């Protein structure tokens, strides 16, 4: 148990943030935290209510999806996490939720347009929605193929997973990731807020224009560029 203490605790804390932030209902959603030196990640067990979680209940899994340590069955989405860790360097946390607004855009199979500076503070492009999965993928190794649906869509768009840390999977729901599990949870909360605002924006004005290029650049760079000046 001691070998994986840090990722168990990190995954536990990050999972507990999901109900606190209103991003999950019942047992929906899961966060994992990886230790790349050991080639494993800790993930929420399947179907266990948040109030019953403990760090010890997190399941340790390798990047091929095999359970390394733990008595409970890992989250049903474990293979999706494994595929992303295996194929994308530098990410140490992944979150999957069915948060209401982001999931609604996924169900509509629509990218979330960049309408405002709240969105541009975090990314400079529309939040991408991967196409709905083929019957072949669904009837095959479904959760494993979900990981490839995400990677394939990023490759098609030419996006860098270090720059864009979120995606919607068409028909399904969002996935986010980051250098840390804590930041991946932050990204899920940002995504949900941006998804909510974008829906309201379109309801108020169907023809709402996208954010001007100058504002996209200004807002992103003041937080992320070499000359960033946001925060202390």
**Footprint on this chain of Zn ion (rule: CB under 5 A):** 173
Q: How far is the CB of 117 from Zn ion (least distance, A)?
A: 30
Could you tell me which of 176, 177, 181, 143 has the C-alpha nearest to residue 12? 181
Closer residue to Zn ion, CB minimum distance, 24 or 120: 24
Please give the Cα distance from 122 to 117 (Å, whole number): 9
User: In which residue are the tokens 């990677």 written?
Assistant: 151
- Whether 121 is catalytic is yes
Contacts of 138-145 with CB under 8 Å at 24 or more apart are 141/79, 143/76, 143/77, 143/78, 143/79, 143/80, 144/65, 144/79, 144/80, 144/82, 144/83
Q: How far is CA 130 from the centre of its chain?
A: 13
Out of 121, 142, 144, 159, the active site residue is 121
Q: How far is the CB of 140 from Zn ion (least distance, A)?
A: 17
Lookup: tokens for 191: 């995504």
Closer residue to Zn ion, CB minimum distance, 96 or 219: 96
Please give the Cα distance from 152 to 166 (Å, whole number): 14
Q: How far is the CB of 169 from Zn ion (least distance, A)?
A: 8
Closer residue to Zn ion, CB minimum distance, 161 or 172: 172
89 phi/psi in degrees, rounded to 5: -75, 160
Closer residue to Zn ion, CB minimum distance, 128 or 174: 174
Could you tell me which of 99, 118, 128 has the C-alpha nearest to residue 31? 99
CB of 43 closer than 8 Å to CB of 75: yes
Burial 66-75 (b: 16+ CB within 10 A, else e): ebeebeeebb
Q: Nearest to Zn ion by Cβ — which residue?
A: 173
- Whether 144 is catalytic is no
Q: How far is the CB of 115 from Zn ion (least distance, A)?
A: 26
Q: How far is the CB of 174 from Zn ion (least distance, A)?
A: 9
Closer residue to Zn ion, CB minimum distance, 173 or 194: 173
Give the residue numbers annotated as catalytic, written as ranges: 121, 230
């Amino acid at each position: 148990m001691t070998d994986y203490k840090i990722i168990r605790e990190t995954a536990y804390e990050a999972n507990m943030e999901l109900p606190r932030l209103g991003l999950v209902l019942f047992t929906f959603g899961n966060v994992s935290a990886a230790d790349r030196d050991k080639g494993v990640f800790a993930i929420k067990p399947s179907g266990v209510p948040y109030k019953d979680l403990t760090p010890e209940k997190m399941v340790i899994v390798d990047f091929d999806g095999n359970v390394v340590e733990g008595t409970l069955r890992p989250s049903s989405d474990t293979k999706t996490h494994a595929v992303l860790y295996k194929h994308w360097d530098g990410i140490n946390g992944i979150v999957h939720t069915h948060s209401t607004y982001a999931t609604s855009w996924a169900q509509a199979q629509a990218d979330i347009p960049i309408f405002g500076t709240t969105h541009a503070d975090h990314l400079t492009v529309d939040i991408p929605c991967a196409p709905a999965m083929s019957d072949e993928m669904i009837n095959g190794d479904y959760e494993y193929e979900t990981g490839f649906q995400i990677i394939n869509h990023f490759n098609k768009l030419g996006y860098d997973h270090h720059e864009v840390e979120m995606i919607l999977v068409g028909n399904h729901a969002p996935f986010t990731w980051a250098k840390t599990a804590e930041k991946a949870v932050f990204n899920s909360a940002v995504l949900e807020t941006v998804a909510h605002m974008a829906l309201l924006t379109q309801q108020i004005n169907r023809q709402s224009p996208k954010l001007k290029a100058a504002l996209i650049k200004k807002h992103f760079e003041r937080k992320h560029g070499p000359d960033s000046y946001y925060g202390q």
